[in-house]
Structure 1
Amino acid sequence: MALQINATKPEHPALLLELPWHLPLEEWPEEYLVPLPRGISRHVVRYARAGDEVVAVKELAERPAQREYGLLRDLDRIDIPAVDPLAVVTGRTDAAGEPLESVLVTRHLAGSLPYRSLFETTLRPATMHRLMDALAVLLVRLHLAGFAWGDCSLSNTLFRRDAGAYAAYLVDAETGDLHPELTSGQRSYDLELARVNISGELMDLEASGALHPSVDPVEFGSEICARYEGLWQELTRTSVYPAGKYHYIERRIRRLNALGFDVAEMQIEHSPLGDSVTFVPKVVDAGHHPRQLLRLTGLDAEENQARRLLSDLESWMATQDDYAPETGGDRSNGGGARTEVLAHRWVRDVFRPTVRAVPPELRGGMDPAEIYHELLEHRWYLSERAQHDIGLDTAVADYIENILPRTRSVPGPPGD
């Protein structure tokens, strides 16, 4: 059987052909590999360079490779945080013509870390809580989309910094199934697997001495259940309001927006007597703040990053003479600038110059939105200490000189 590369984009096969597919993945020469931290996997996984891209290469049998490739493509289409599938490589043989396992190729998620790399320095319990928050949000998003993971764990997740918190991404979809809708039993099964897996993984860390002494593995394993159930209840519960109190519905929607979710479809029913209104969110989509930021500025960011950048944008617009917030930027005399115009001015005059002021060699794996968030945090800290606003330029200079050189090796968010 000849080597076959089934790829998502036409340019990928040519780039991937340069890799040594005739060798077992364990024997790939160092010249092809990229030394990035890897999590625990039941399969052989390596990071390699294909053209200008860094890719993750995983060896497994052809049928599960094709199945996982298809599931990851489905998750990408419905905008679920997961690694990007690039290709499946089949028909591999060694120099003697003996068959080799197929390979799934995904794009390396820039700035991400497996959980064991986060524990290279002992994480505080507060950081552990943020990891549980991120994983709970990911699991809820998967279940809202009808995806039963079948193996939710820290090992099957990558974490990226997200404005002092974390964003979680699914890595391994091999055991998953996509349905039109999940039953409560399917959700409960996934959640119980998550609890058991997480407790076991934390016990392994405890045995190796990498776990903070105040962290109880069993307690933190159960915490994912509590955080999941609280979020699921808020997103899906039915609310009954007195007739005429329609602002209660708006308040509920705003609360969901604050959690990072949009209500894309809802059901509203009046009671037979007309004295109450029942409100049920029917379709809830994550990504409220990233969508808003992308629409206004063209910037792509994680949920918490987007929320922070939007807050800074709003504060900056309030200082502009030509902004009229009561009309969305349009003054009645025609002299006001639209919000979209001011947002692009903020990107051009504030965001981009600030990020570019940070030398590339000091940025580590941080994306521009995370850099800008950290600079805003440092500005707030210095301003609190000085008891007046010290300005962004001063904060940037101090951050570059005194903070970045000694923090780029720290895996957690600022303060960990």
Structure 2
Amino acid sequence: MDFNMKKLASDAGVFFTRAVQFTEEKLGQAEKTELDAHFENLLARADTTKNWTEKILRQTEVLLQPNPSARVEEFLYEKLDRKVPSRVTNGELLAQYMIEAANDFGPQSPYGKTLIKVGETERRLGGAERDFIHSASINFLTPLRNFLEGDWRTISKERRILQNRRLDLDACKARLKKAKAAEAKAAAVPDFNETRPRNYILSASASALWSDEVEKAEHELRMAQTEFDRQAEVTRLLLEGISSTHVNHLRCLHEFAEAQATYYAQCYQYMLDLQKQLGRLPGTFVGNTEATSPPPATASPTVMPAAAGPAIPTLPVVPTVAGAPDGAPAIEALNPSDVKPPASGTRKARALYDYEAADSTELSLLSDEMITVYSLPGMDPDWLMGERGNQKGKVPVTYLELLS
């Protein structure tokens, strides 16, 4: 108990002494050992790296998991060294609801079939999202956390030690300066006087005493300077390692960008596949009779800003014979090779996306190719008859850009 009290008293004394040192340095009443400009630049660079790494880490966590409660739960599991439970993504949960609804509405009904198709795609989207989150966590978040919880803690610890060494060095300098001033004052010995020999003896003794103090202070200063230089070199090496940290984080950033690009490419492909599947499902929805007019400029990828990314084609409506005049043959029953183009009303069109024909009555498209299109009596307004050389077939309007 006595030993602990003595240690506490000693620590309190050191703390008070250093607090006084800091105060005197701020007020300009004490000298401070300055670090060289290169060292100061390394310190500033390390602080900047730490601050921005924390911000990037936090915002990436928000991107991958927008739910703050879920983030807190995952953080607690990690701190307790327990496995984070598998969490259902929003897309997977939506897929579950859609498929359950389809079973209640009737899986063979048009609405039920469509719900199942969309639900299956949402499940695939949820799986892609899960893979992206997993990849980003391992290849990007983990290295950032390792730096903050490992390298940065080591750097902070060594910087605190360097600060203490610097304070010890400045304290030794102050003691030496004080001892030298006292020695110089004591060296001013008065002339020997037989009537007052005691003054001469006392002055000579004081001068010898302060000489010993100066010698002791110089020894302590040399030791403090050695400790300071050694610690400064250790800290400098750690700070210079920040360059390697940047290189490592750069590699991780590339992996994060690649994972995100793969995720969005998968989502885009899944949605294209869904649209093709829905275009082949039987349904009763009849599109707008004005659908053969050119699409709005804002819907055409040719006039969209480059930053908007690849456009997603709108859902093509299933061809029907709604609105066909009495006695007109069903377009679906016609052989495309027997169809004759009208004398007027043909137009040029550019394919916006690839399209795979579902049967022999349809015409496959390649993105950006030019074809001739026209409408026939009784034809569904969401489809046009297309010609490419000797090939003919129906094509969905939503996959075309009609040209004047």
Which bracket does the TM-score occupy, shorter chain normalised?
under 0.3
Greater fraction of residues in strand = 1
TM-score by length of 2: 0.21
The structure that has the greater radius of gyration is 2
Greater fraction of residues in helix = 2
Higher relative contact order (CA 8 A, sep 6+): 2
TM-score by length of 1: 0.21
